[in-house]
Structure 1
Amino acid sequence: MSGLWRNRDFTALWTGQVVATLGATITATAMPLLVLATTGSARDAGLVGAAGTLPYLLVNLPAGALVDRLRRHRILLIGQLVAALTMVTVPVAIRFGWLSVAQLCAVMFVQGVCFVFVSLAERAALPRVVPPGQLATAIAHNEARQRGAGLAGRPLGGVLFAAGHALPFLLDAVSYLVAAVALLFVRRDLDSGTPPAERSLWRSAAEGLRWVWRHPLVRAAILLVAASNLVFQALVLVLVVLAQRHGASASEIGVMLGVYSGGGLLGAVAAGRLHRHFSPRMVIVGVNWVWVALLPLFLVAGQPWLLGLIGAATSFVGPLWNVVLGTYMTTLVPNELLGRVGSAGMTLSWGVLPLGSLLAGFLLDGIGPAGVVGVLAGIMLVTAVAATVSPAVRAAPPLAGSPAPDRVRG
């Protein structure tokens, strides 16, 4: 057993988040199926998906400032409990016939808010839980957690939805409660130990944006991530509609998305070792061109299993990008700024996710899935060219250990 797994606090935090992430992934598969089964409209599915990601744009900046001000352990606990209480309203509404698109949008918005706070608090707490020499490995384990939950949760979401429309959402609510219990076993102080300066919430949040903007490589990488996030957020709904048009059942769609996520799990396992052998420039440029090559293949894939395999290939290279960028952010940023810098990065890179969901929903009703794949491939091509010619990316230094603080405070 590695030293990281002998770390009780990390193990408790990681285990609880595994269960919660599994539940969230089950819902991510079941929710568009529920909307399509209820209204038959891809546009409605896009609206619900956008509601779930809108907090990434609206809430990230103030949430980051609050994570650096408030008790991180308490934020994690409250986030899981609120997520459980709101999610349980979905099976209740299904049972009594109260289900509506407006309610699903409200539930997913609250889920998104909880996800923002929990993600920022966990990321900021990680350097307080593991030593600097194990940070990259811990981030790779977190990446594997996300991908592994996708591998299991995607098919499970489809199977549970086929067995009963309320089951996926009930299990998701229980998963948040399990995560809340696991947090009770985390004993270490998760706060930075450096009290933040007294200033307004928005001025404090703006510090994170200023830090990102003063570091050209981090800024360029985050903007490139934003473009790829838009593409892949839209792609998931496109694949669901493509599979349905080829006669796939809910269970088959879940398996397809599970295969998709399986590539990410393999990539996360590999990234734990591979990140040492590639420079940030190679990762940032290379990953984008791999995606450019793979996206057009969805146009010629008819069967759900083939769509899943192509998705697995796109998913395999993503964790390497995430580990490299995540290690940069975690080691370069002073701990007392991690919440705010993380929120700035998430605002810029994840704030496009609502647009991705809306883009997919509206374009699917207008030009169909093949047309949307063409649009997404074009966006990815422009992104890859931008990564290749970016001066900041071309001058990216190698990632080696933890830099001295005076190099990164700007």
Structure 2
Amino acid sequence: MTPLRRNRDFTALWTGQVISTLGARISATATPLLVLAATGSPLDAGLVGAAGTLPHLIASLPAGPLVDRWNRHRILLASELVAAVALLTVPLAIWSGVLTVAQMCAVVFVQGLCLVFFELAEHAALPMVVPPGQLATAFATNEARSRGVTLAGPPLGGFLFTVDRALPFLVDGISYLLAAVSILFLRRDLRPAARGPAEPLWTSALTGLRYVWRNRFIRASLLLIAVSNLVFQALILVLVVHAGDHGATPARIGLMLGLYSVGGLLGALIAARVHSRLSLRVVLIGTYWIWSVLLPLFAWASSPWQIGAIGALTAFVGPIWNVMILTYASITVPNELLGRVMSAANTLTWGVMPIASLGAGVLLTAVGPVGAIGALSAIMLTTAIAATISPTIRKSSPLPGTDDAAPDHTPPVPPAPRDQLPLDPATRPPG
């Protein structure tokens, strides 16, 4: 088997996304800083954050069938180009003195929409680019990519924002253009297999929703992951304001978020090995208890370095969960259905993020950062207890390829449907 590093198509896709993800992390760090500097309102910052995550709620479900119908190569390319155009309007507006909160909402909404289509297309295309035996390594490599650039992205975002408020968004726009160039080097045919006449869009979308909702374990996991996504999406803004209240500059806040990501990178580096040694239920239940213990510590942290160190510990376990679940989904879900299955799951688990961003703004206005951390910690503790006492979670079958799996690697869901949770519960936000 050809080593993954010699797979030209995977290398082209991976390299482009290193550049693109770096730019996205830079602008993501600068966005709340820009809104807070311009308006001084955490509620406005929450509104912009909600606009950026709204596409996960309203677009993921219809995007899945489209990814299963359209040429995934074209989706990847168009997503990068449209996002580039949207981001480049921000520095132009800043330099012209006409930037508004409404424009920022529109820009991050378009960027989020492109992200929805790109990630669904990338996940659906990866099994067409990488042999099944290398999928776990490929997903772990992608996790390392995401976590690695997050180390550099926030510090760069904070630094560039200090130099010129427009620079982070200019850099991000250029990064999307460079990533689009790398997509042009993909030579593999990424068109879905030809099928009969396409069913209506919403009927097709609901097919994916039925697939992921049919199994009790999937339903329970979706609910748990949705709650953790809500907590960590809200936590990002809360920590930025919390650090600012203790005198942290934008540059130090960027470094804080970079330190936060160290744990995610370390988790990504071991994820492929852990994938074959731990059961899904151990990772799922254990992750929520780790987060329940760590989250209250943020309230006691008084410097960006302390906040970043605690964040690094919370981020460590996320990539392990991501690699396990994405690998299983890519192996067990038919590729022609993968886009729909993933989009349905993403709608249910990422759709809470707009609510989380708005909730963070409301909590910060009402009770301040420490009170907001307390509320989020209580939600996470409740979730950990629910995961522990849930018979569905405790009795879940092992994943194929783990040490405690049955010798014949029988999937933990009935053969029809051949589906499992294709989620990325900790990549966004970095929990």
- How do 1:195-344 residues align onto structure 2 when only pairs under 5 Å count? 195=195, 197-344=197-344
- Tell me which protein shows more helix as a share of its residues: 1
Alpha-carbon offset, residue 196 of structure 1: 6.0
Alignment of 1:97-246 (within 5 A): 97-195=97-195, 197-246=197-246
Structure 1 residue identity aligned to 2:74: R
Summarize deviations over 1:172-231 as a string: whole Å, max 9, x none. Answer: 000100110000111001233242652110000001100001122233222211111110
Count of paired positions:
410
Alignment match, 1:407: 415
Q: TM-score when scaled to structure 2? A: 0.93
The residue number in structure 2 matching 1:371 is: 371
Conserved? CA contact 1:333–1:408, under 8 Å: no
- Post-superposition offset of 1:71: 0.6
1:42 partner amino acid: P
Of 263-272 and 43-52, deviating more is 263-272
Residues 157 and 254 in structure 1, CA contact (< 8 A), matched pair in contact too: yes
- Hey, what's the Cα distance between the residues in 2 that align with 1:150 and 1:354? 22
Please give the per-residue CA displacement for 1:367-395, whole angstroms capped at 9, x wherever unaligned. 00000001100110111112112222112
* Structure 2: runs of 5 or more not aligned: 402-408, 419-431
Contact 1:51–1:108 (Cα < 8 Å) also in 2: yes
Cα distance, 1:2 vs. partner?
A: 7.8
**Following TM superposition, by how much is the alpha carbon of 1:299 offset from its aligned partner in structure 2, in angstroms?**
1.2
Bigger Cα displacement from structure 2, 152-161 vs 195-204: 195-204
SS at match of 2:189: coil
Identity between Structure 1 and Structure 2 (%): 61
Which amino acid in structure 2 is aligned with residue 380 of structure 1? M
Superposed displacement of residue 408, structure 1: 4.4
Partner of 2:77: 77
* Greater Cα offset, 111-120 or 399-408: 399-408
Partner SS, residue 317 of structure 2: helix
Unaligned runs of 5+ in 1: none
- Match of 2:20? 20
RMSD, matched Cα? 1.5
Aligned CA distance change for structure 1 residues 196 and 371 (closer, same or farther; 3 Å):
farther
Q: Rate the CA distance shift 1:225–1:197 in 2: closer, same or farther, 3 A.
A: farther
1:30 and 1:216 map into 2 onto residues whose CA distance is 40
Contact 2:70–2:192 (Cα < 8 Å) also in 1: no
Distance in 1 between the 2:194 and 2:335 partners?
Answer: 8
Distance 1:219 1:208 in 2: 13
Is the counterpart of residue 394 in structure 1 residue 394 in structure 2?
yes
Separation of aligned partners in 1, 2:27 and 2:410: 40
Query: Kindly tell me: are residues 216 and 294 of structure 1, through their superposed partners in 2, closer, same or farther at Cα, counting changes over 3 Å?
Result: same
Distance (whole Å) between structure 2 residues aligned to residue 396 and residue 190 of structure 1: 34
The answer to whether the Cα contact below 8 Å between 1:59 and 1:116 also exists between their aligned partners in 2 is yes
- Residue 45 of structure 1 aligns to which amino acid in structure 2? A
CA distance 1:273–1:2, change in 2 (3 Å): farther
Q: Distance in 2 between matches of 1:209 and 1:196?
A: 21
Mean CA deviation greater in 60-69 or 316-325: 316-325
For residues 196 and 380 of structure 1, the distance between their equivalents in structure 2, rounded to whole angstroms, comes to: 45
Contact 2:79-2:114 at 8 Å conserved across structures: yes
Distance across 2 between alignment mates of 1:15 and 1:408? 36
Q: Does the CA contact (< 8 Å) of 1:279 and 1:399 recur in 2?
A: yes
Q: Would the aligned equivalents of 2:23 and 2:175 in 1 still touch at CA under 8 Å?
A: yes
Corresponding residue for 1:362? 362
Contact 1:334 1:409 (8 Å CA) reproduced: no
Larger mean Cα displacement after TM superposition, 341-350 or 189-198: 189-198
Q: Bigger CA drift: 123-132 or 191-200?
A: 191-200
**Distance in 2 separating the partners of 1:199 and 1:124:** 19
Provide the C-alpha distance between the structure 2 equivalents of 1:136 and 1:220, rounded to a whole number of angstroms: 24
For residue 198 of structure 2, what is the amino acid of its counterpart?
A: E
Distance 1:15 1:408, change over 3 A: farther
Distance 2:377 2:290 in 1: 11
Give SS of 2:276's match.
helix
Q: In structure 1, how many angstroms separate the alpha carbons of the residues matched to 2:199 and 2:36?
A: 46
Q: Distance in 2 between matches of 1:216 and 1:11?
A: 38
Say if 1:2 and 1:288 are closer, same or farther in 2 by CA, change over 3 A: farther
Match of residue 426 from structure 2:
none
Question: Residues 271 and 196 of structure 1: is their aligned pair in 2 closer, same or farther, counting only changes over 3 Å?
Answer: farther
Q: In 2, distance between residues paired with 1:328 and 1:381?
A: 27
2:145 alignment partner, SS class: helix
Report the 3-state secondary structure (helix = DSSP H, G, I; strand = E; otherwise coil) of the residue aligned with 1:319: helix
**TM superposition score normalised by structure 1:** 0.97
